[in-house]
Each structure stands twice: as C-alpha cells, then as structure tokens.
A and B are shown apart, each in its own frame.
Chain A
Amino acid sequence: MPYIPLEDHLPGITGLLEYSKETAAPIRELTQVLLRGPSTLTEGERELIATVVSHRNQCKFCVTAHTAAADVLLGEHETSAKVKEDISTAPVSDKMKALLTIAAQVQQSGKAVTTESIQKAKDVGATDIEIHDTVLIAALFCLYNRYVDGLATVTPSQPEFYQGLGQRLKDHGYNRLPQGYDHLKKNNPVH
C-alpha cells in the first residue's frame, strides 16, 4: 500500500506522476530528451541503461517496465536478460559494454565512476555526449527507483501489465498522454 494516496488504477511511477503534475512535467521532459531524443545511441540501447540501473537498485516496477520497453524496441528478450546478468558477456557492442559499466558505477555513486572506465569507453568509440547521457540516464533512474520504492507504490505482478506498458513506452515515449490515464481504469485490477 502506497504511503500517500495514489490512484488505484495507476501503479508504479504513473500514479506519482499524476499525483504531482508540477514535478512530473520536467521529469517527463528530461526522460523524453534522454531516452527518445536525437542520439547516436538507439532507443533500445538507452532503455538497456535504464534497465541495468533499475535492476541494480532492485526496483522491481522500473526494471520490469524498462526490460519490457527494451524488449519491444530490440525485438527480442535475450539482450535485456543478459545485461542484467553480466555486462561483460552480454550480446552488446564493446561501446555499450563500456557505457553500461559506467552506468553501473553511477548507480553506486557518482564518485564510483573511474577514469579507467571513462577512458575505456572513449577507446571503443564513445563520444562525450554519449558518456554524458549515460551518466545522466543512470542518475535519473537513481531518482526514479527511489521515488517509486520510497513511497511504496504498487508493483503489479502480471506480465501482461508490463507488456502493455513497454508497448506504450515505445509508441508514446515519456510525454503525458494527451487524454490522461482514465482509460486505464477498465484494465483493473492490477494487483
């Protein structure tokens, strides 16, 4: 049960973003720029960064949601599963391995990022903006994961919920839906 009154039909982050629309607007915009804006990293690659950080923060809602989004974008389930298991042996490019390693360090602390991991990323072709965005995506998910779990939001257990959410994140990104979220009421129960 959430620590503050949130709408029953909006589990996880969505209920929080609807509870406080004033803070939700910049959070949504930041996420849209980082995960869906113009970038030399694919949307799928950026979702993998979100997935790895959420996994390491043990935020079940976020990791399941972003795994689903990554899977829809990549068209397969293997990569997201493997990057959570072991970045070094996952089926991603050397550049992505280097960036995911930086993201994992950011998850621990900003100070945990090493000059060696940055140098490694540059050696395998990562640009400054890719490194910047990786650090900020990882930091942003340290916000999201704490927001979602710190207020004890509901984590649905049905896989279909996350498949639907992953599809929504592919189709609509992170902007608030123009019509709001009342149409999701008919999809209850989510528990």
Chain B
Amino acid sequence: MAYIDLPKELPGIRGPMAFRPETAKPLNELAEVLLRDDNNTLTRGERELIATYVSSLNDCFFCQNAHGGIAQHYLQCDMQFIDAIKKDYTAMPISDKLKSLLSIAASVQKGGKYVTAEQIENAKTEGATDKEIHDTVLIAAAFCMFNRYVDGLGTWAPQDREIYVQRGPRRAEEGYIDFDLYK
C-alpha cells in the first residue's frame, strides 16, 4: 500500500501524478521532450532503452517494465531481448554508439561523478554528438528521479509483465502529455 493516500486503482507513477497535478504536468513534459521529441538523432526506441536500463539498475519494477514495454514496441523485439540488454548490453546486437551511451547512463545511475572522460571520449569516437551525450545523461538522471518517486512513495505495480507489453503501443501512440491517467 502506498505511503500516502493515492487513488487506489492507479499503479506506479500514475497514483502520485493524480495526487499532485501541479508537479505531474512538468514531469510529463520532461518525459515527452526527452523520450519522444522528433528533434533528436537518437530514436525513440534507443531513448526508451536507456530509460529501461537505468530503471532496472535502480530496481524499479514499475518503470523498467512500463518503459521496457514501450521500448519493445518501438524496437519491434520481444521481452527476452529487453531482458538480455538489462543483463549484459555489451553482448547484444546494438550499435557501438548505443553501447557507449548505455555505459554512460550506468555511471550516471551510480552518481554523476562516476562518468569518466574516457567514457565520453569513447562515445564521441563511436559517433555520439554532444546533444546525444547530453540527452543520455539527462535521461539517466531523470529516471533516477522517476524511479525514486515511484518507489519512495511505496506505489504498487502489476506483477504480470505482459500487462506492460500490452500497454506499450498505446503510450507510444499517445505520448506522455494529455493522456488519461485512469485508462
């Protein structure tokens, strides 16, 4: 049970978002611009994968499955692929640039100071732009916020992971702004 009086039918971040619309608005706007804005050379799938990976490192069940489901939809892959990325992305058939960015995201998850000049240099060598590096750091940092928000208030999460996979296409379609928290 959540630590504060949230609408009981809403899982994960949707409970606190319904509880406090004033903060939900900029939180959703941040997610929208970071994860869905078209003015970005990282695909939506790549950005959702960074979000999923950081959420799994933070052990946030709701976020890693919600964003894993969306990533799965964008990347047209199965849950095994997403799980394998979380387990060891270095062994997966993704671009070297994305691997270098996931490495930076993992350091950000531990703490800002863990990001090294070598990691940044490696990402640039693999072709990552300044904006891609910026966005990777900020997506990782943002999910260190979202994950703490979701778990720090003791919200509940559906345990059937298929539910998140089924919701993925809808969130991909509707985006993070102007969606109905109760649907």
Contact = CB atoms under 8 A, between A and B. Distances in A.
A149 interface: yes
Contacts of B75: none
A127 to B, nearest CB: 9
A59 B23 contact: no
B101 interface: no
Contact of B154 (A22, A113, A129, A138): A113
Given A110-B58, A143-B141, A143-B145, A30 B151 contact: no
B142 interface: yes
A29 B28 CA distance: 12
Nearest to A142: B144
Interface stretch (B14-22, B64-72, B167-175): B14-22
B33 A150 contact: no
B162 interface: no
Interface string B107-135: 11001110101001000000000110111
Most chain-B CB neighbours within 10 Å: which of A20, A131, A136, A143?
A143
A151 B140 CA distance: 12
Contacts of A22: 33, 37, 39
Interface in A145-188: 145-152
B112 A128 contact: no
B134 A151 contact: yes
Nearest to B1: A115
A152 B111 CA distance: 12
Contacts, number: 154
Interface of B: 3-5, 16, 19-20, 22-23, 25-27, 29-30, 33-34, 37, 39, 58-60, 104, 107-108, 111-113, 115, 117, 120, 130-131, 133-135, 137-138, 140-142, 144-154
28 contacts: A3-B115, A3-B133, A4-B131, A4-B134, A26-B30, A33-B22, A110-B152, A113-B151, A115-B3, A115-B154, A118-B154, A128-B4, A129-B4, A131-B153, A132-B4, A132-B19, A132-B20, A132-B153, A135-B148, A135-B153, A136-B20, A139-B144, A147-B138, A149-B112, A149-B113, A150-B107, A151-B115, A151-B137
Interface of A: 3-5, 16, 19-20, 22-23, 25-27, 29-30, 33-34, 37, 57-59, 102, 105-106, 109-111, 113, 115, 118, 128-129, 131-133, 135-136, 138-140, 142-152
